[in-house]
Structure 1
Amino acid sequence: MAGLKVLFDAEGKPLELHARVGEGGEATVRHVAGRDGVLAKVYKDQDDLAEHARKVVALVAMATPGLEKVAAWPKQLVVDDSGQAVGFLMEHLKGWTPLYNVYQTRSRLRQVPHGDWGFLVRVARNLAAAVSAVHRAGLVVGDLNESNVLVSGQAMVKLIDVDSFQVEVDGETLACPVGKAEYLAPELQGRDLDLHRRSPSHDVFALAVLVFQTLMLGRHPFAGRPCGLLEPSLEEALANHWYVYASERDVPLRPPPGMTVDWLPPAVRTLFERAFGPDVAARPTAKVWADVLKELESELTPCSPGHVYWKGLAACPWCRLERRSRTRLFGGQAEIAVVTVCSGDVALADLKEAVDRCATLPVPLEHQLPNGALTLVVTASPDDENTKRKRIRYVVAPIISGMLSISILVWMFTGAFQQVRSVLTPMLIAFYMPVVTTRGIRIRKAAMEARRTRQEREDALARLKVLADRYMEASSVPNLPAKNKAYEELLAESKSADQKRQEIRDRYLNRYYWAEINRFLSKYSVLVADVKDLSVRRLNSLYESGIRSAADIVFSKLKDLPELSPADRDQLVAWRKSLSDQFWRASSLSLPKEMEDQAEQEFVQWAKETANKLDSAYRELKVLTNSMEETQRVLRPQIVEAYQLAADAERDYSIHKDAIILDRESIKNFFTYKGIQ
């Protein structure tokens, strides 16, 4: 076409651009001659080409069947004759219409004449599924509005302007610097979007607005009638969370006449309250919206060929609105379809959810008793020391008294006082007998008290040991360390799901392109192998033994060559791999749909099995952990109580134990031990 530069696709094939399909501030979209269903988007501003190219290259590399189902994804770069990227090729969504033509009554009757309210519910559901798929890929839409969502006649939804998505490239955020004020989250109102990183939370706010408009025939959730004299702007209402239909907050706006959210089920109304309320963390995710709208779709009931409504209502609201407005709102029923997100993407998301759910398992690998449970440290009080001294006097005093009495009697019967012994003997007996008897009774009581406290001490220590043994036994689950290690390995494997998915696909690619890879590798003779530790002579020896090219470097052949060390084999394999990597980088290869589906199904099977194993291991360890913690919880206060009783018994015994030395039983045991009896 005259006036247009010569442009090429990523494979160097020239592109002939024809009629303009659309034009925006940054780029022009045109038809491509000879390529049905393909459009070229070419950027206008030469100064920003490098940044645009970085983002588009990243998006092309991220393409998956799941993302291509929900968005007009960039397929190839468009370059000029100098090799500079100036745009990209994308799918032409011929016959699709912007979302605003679907939720506005007049344009819907014209563009989708058979679209009823069930059609709108399906559109909203598919939109939520599309945004959810983008979020699962780690992207943020950023500029989500009614113009960059296209709808088919079967209620399918695709996002366009993908090159405006927010993308992470090498740790750098390539931002989305644009956005329509009527769809911006309150925290972004009036802000410089170039300086603010977008998040999925911002997307789901815009999603909630679009879902509301779709279900409410184009009404904006923040557009209403002022309660006072001043009429706030839509941007002001958004910034202040003035959701017109809020039921739990006072807002200075009233709903427009004739429109109500009462015809929506409570679950949907609750999601709108959460989405438009001041609590950012409470905003429903895109997946939550998709699930709730799916449930709403299952609860629709027909009224007439052109009306369906939520079955929880007493009557059809559309009949009433049409009678009041004297306007037809819907046509008949349309053929509709569901966005079927790639099963591999769903399985990957489910596995990642399982990883997040199971990543914080509190498995106690070491269990200790409460401090001091088996070691008693007893400190006697001053009163205890006084009691102990009294007990010692009870024991020592009779000994001293008895010895003194015996000494006096011996002296009397052998000394000068023999003549008065008849008088003194009765007096001494009368004096000492009560003393000896009283002291003997006290000794006996003290000994009994000592034996009692000793028995209590032994009983308390025995109970403490029994409880401690139960505590340690309950906390020592057989094979717990091994089970925990296996769980950690399974968790690590689950976290590498993206890598596993790519490995499976690479295996299918290698199988399908085996002949091409072999032809490529056969071009590289082993005589020129870039292997530093192998001399020319050894390379010649390899060549003569049948290892002639890189294609011959396979383990089955190398293992039969004794002259090669393991290190030599590793270097040869590394050389072959470097050449294989060159082949894949230089080629733009894809799998037939049948093999692509097989690879996806293999990954789905692996992901489901891994998620089930992870959940099972998590539940098993959680049960063990809960059982241990419950046993510890029950036994811990019992052990503390037993410890205190043992400490008290130890203290009592330490006070009374000295009284045992003159106990008859102790003396008997002493002489029996000495062999005297």
Structure 2
Amino acid sequence: MNAKVREVFTLRGEALKLGEIVGQGGEGAVYDLAAHKNHVAKIYHRPLEQQRIDKIRAMGKIKTDSLEKLTAWPTGLVCSKDSKPIGLIMPKISGRKSIHQLYSPKSRRTDFQRVDWRFLTRVAANTARAFAAVHDNACVIGDVNHGGVLVAQDATVRLIDCDSFQVSYLGQQYLCEVGIETFTPPELQGRSFSGILRTPNHDNFGLAVMAFLLLFMGKHPFAGRYAGPGDMPIWKAIEEYRFPYGANAAAVGMARPPSSPELAIVGPRLAKMFEDAFSQKGTSAGRPVARDWVAALAELEANLKQCSANSSHWSLGSSPCPWCKMEGATGVPLFSTVVPAGGATLFDIAGFQRQVDAIPHPGPVPTVPEKNVTPDPNALKLKGHARRTNFRAGIAAAVVGVAGLMMTQIWVLGIALGVFLGLRGFLNRDSEAAEYRRMAGEAATQWKNAQTTWMQRAGPDAFDRQKTVLAGLRREWDILPSKRVARISELERNLRQAQLHRFLDNFEISSAKIESIGPGKKQVLESYGVETALDVERNKLYSVPGFGPKTAQKLLNWRRSVEARFVFDPSRAIDPRDIAQIDQDILGDRKRLQAALILGLEQLKQTRAQILAAREHSRPEMERLRLALDQSSANVAAISG
């Protein structure tokens, strides 16, 4: 579409004024609609084929309440002035993020905070509900991918890019001819989607993949370790039914990635559903359908229990907690800290401090003592060999030299051969000794690296740092009363400035006549927090789009003209509104500190739990490495003795 064209039309000829671009992709751009706040227009880059036009018309006719609630379902065509369809109208979806942002602990930190496993389970169930709505209306998503699912902070889900769905209407099939291999079922892997009639069973595979990604911390169900030769990319593992979390994993040469949870964490019902969805049976006899997932995921959420050691961990109550075990092995926090709901202003700081003091220090990092080991028997056989080797090698070399001078004598050749064979024996033992020393060096390096990680994860430093943070927050809390007194005293010292600020704040830009500043620019200023003469500051204006030096100077001149009318009255007391503002600010600080203290206490508990989990789950590996180091050291000592 020509960027200068800002007006389009509905099929009935109603004019639609395009607003700002809110999104853009390979197919087209999405625009706000000035007169339709809840809808947007998607304008395609290329002229629409008749097949696409007919499909969009059909989608408008089969729209239902469930589709409207759970998807961005097209509602009609958009035409140019010559009545040629160039796009479509669809609901505006805002305040949501791609489901991909929820998969892994790292990716959800920015856009989804306060998230635990219950939330992820709910999102998976709501995604299944949206799939069910599509299937109930004789449609197939086809191109299942995480870019097509948007999630809100309340875990509700909306499907987008609906114009790519496969649609059935009055016996006509409008196909979906695209797809992503990581969500494509085995029976379609490696095939062109052109002309293929997709089925809900194909979607059911993609839904199972998406649910798995949510529940298993972003791990793809077909990404695993392959025991056979060559690589095993995801698409190939899908095609060959190599599900590394299943009961048949070893038989197909697959194993779960390190530090990944077992399939059993979702309970027997969901575990079987994943097995069925990713098996040959799923291809031939059908996979679990969307409504099966809704019911099973709701059951899972209803049975989740909070971990006694870490309040952000929710699971089926298995012991040990799968998330404590995973965090102990990886050192990566899997979920956001949960802040308990509490009062706004009343806060027992003394009682809070008692809670902090009651949390036991994890103590120093446990030592892994040296092991009392016996040298390898082969190493004992080499004992003293290192000292004797050089001497004997010299004797052997001399004998061989003499033999060279007497080569004409056959008996001398026999002696030389014997000496050579003896020397080779000594050299072989030298090689064995070198191998023991190499193994000792490798064991020492592994132990040193493991010790560093052990100190970081199992040491008390993170706990001590969190205690320091809490102590700093407590100091801030304690000085709040004196902070209020200091600010009121500052008002008294700066009474003139306080009166000036109050005076300037009474002059609103929206009602002022300022050269070159019309209603549009005033609205922009208000959107950027510049509402009164008090807000007019050069640095603040330069951050507002469309306000360069000349336009900004007009506003600054207006502020000066207002300021020139100010008259200071030293007899006036401090404005009660200024004191009220101070009290409001102090209350805000109090709320902020209360939330930070409660959060800090929970983080302190979780930090301690993570340290103890690291000690428990990493200790066997440390002991193994310690034993390997001590054994290799004993072997080297034996051959050097």
CA distance in 1, matches of 2:112, 2:98: 12
Provide the aligned length of Structure 1 versus Structure 2.
334
Matched, 1:286 2:287: no
* Shift in Å, 1:318: 1.6
CA distance in 2, matches of 1:59, 1:267: 36
For 1:39, the equivalent position in structure 2 comes to: 40
**CA deviation map 1:153-198 (0-9, x unaligned):** 0000111111111112332211001110110111111111012110
**CA deviation map 1:539-583 (0-9, x unaligned):** xxxxxxxxxxxxxxxxxxxxxxxxxxxxxxxxxxxxxxxxxxxxx
* Shift in Å, 1:284: 0.5
Listed as ranges, the matches of 1:405-416 within 5 Å are: none
User: Which amino acid is 1:34 matched to?
Assistant: A
For 1:314, the equivalent position in structure 2 comes to: 319
CA distance in 2, matches of 1:231, 1:79: 50
Cα 1:11–1:104, aligned 2, differ >3 Å: closer, same or farther?
farther
CA distance in 1, matches of 2:92, 2:339: 23
* Shift in Å, 1:251: 1.6
* Shift in Å, 1:206: 0.4
Contact 1:79–1:85 (8 Å) recurs in 2: yes
For 2:133, the equivalent position in structure 1 comes to: 133
Identical positions, percent? 36
CA distance in 1, matches of 2:339, 2:18: 36
For 2:123, the equivalent position in structure 1 comes to: 123
Cα 1:167–1:264, aligned 2, differ >3 Å: closer, same or farther?
same
* Shift in Å, 1:234: 1.4
Contact 1:105–1:329 (8 Å) recurs in 2: yes
Q: Secondary structure at the match of 2:276?
A: helix
Greater Rg, structure 1 or structure 2? 1
Give the TM-score normalised by structure 1: 0.48
User: Which amino acid is 1:14 matched to?
Assistant: A
Cα 1:333–1:67, aligned 2, differ >3 Å: closer, same or farther?
farther
CA distance in 2, matches of 1:85, 1:302: 55
User: Which amino acid is 1:43 matched to?
Assistant: Y
Contact 1:185–1:202 (8 Å) recurs in 2: yes
For 2:402, the equivalent position in structure 1 comes to: none
Unaligned runs of 5+ in 2: 341-641
Give the TM-score normalised by structure 2: 0.50
**CA deviation map 1:437-474 (0-9, x unaligned):** xxxxxxxxxxxxxxxxxxxxxxxxxxxxxxxxxxxxxx
For 1:243, the equivalent position in structure 2 comes to: 243
* Shift in Å, 1:45: 2.0
User: Which amino acid is 1:291 matched to?
Assistant: A
For 1:549, the equivalent position in structure 2 comes to: none
Q: 1:273 aligns with which of 268, 272, 275?
A: 275
RMSD: 2.0
Contact 1:78–1:85 (8 Å) recurs in 2: yes
User: Which amino acid is 1:58 matched to?
Assistant: A
Cα 1:141–1:21, aligned 2, differ >3 Å: closer, same or farther?
same
Contact 1:5–1:80 (8 Å) recurs in 2: no
Listed as ranges, the matches of 1:106-255 within 5 Å are: 106-248=106-248, 250-255=251-256
Cα 1:26–1:247, aligned 2, differ >3 Å: closer, same or farther?
same
Contact 1:100–1:147 (8 Å) recurs in 2: yes
For 1:330, the equivalent position in structure 2 comes to: 335
Contact 1:227–1:253 (8 Å) recurs in 2: yes
Matched, 1:300 2:301: no
CA distance in 1, matches of 2:135, 2:336: 34
For 1:429, the equivalent position in structure 2 comes to: none
Unaligned runs of 5+ in 1: 336-677
**CA deviation map 1:289-313 (0-9, x unaligned):** 1111111011011126752433341
* Shift in Å, 1:139: 0.8
User: Which amino acid is 1:293 matched to?
Assistant: L
Contact 2:72–2:90 (8 Å) recurs in 1: yes
Cα 1:242–1:334, aligned 2, differ >3 Å: closer, same or farther?
farther
CA distance in 1, matches of 2:276, 2:121: 19
CA distance in 2, matches of 1:2, 1:231: 47
Cα 1:4–1:244, aligned 2, differ >3 Å: closer, same or farther?
farther
CA distance in 1, matches of 2:147, 2:311: 26
Listed as ranges, the matches of 1:661-676 within 5 Å are: none
Contact 1:49–1:85 (8 Å) recurs in 2: no
**CA deviation map 1:393-429 (0-9, x unaligned):** xxxxxxxxxxxxxxxxxxxxxxxxxxxxxxxxxxxxx
* Shift in Å, 1:334: 9.8
* Shift in Å, 1:52: 1.6
* Shift in Å, 1:320: 2.4
**CA deviation map 1:72-91 (0-9, x unaligned):** 11123211112222211112
Listed as ranges, the matches of 1:312-391 within 5 Å are: 312-332=317-337
CA distance in 1, matches of 2:5, 2:54: 24
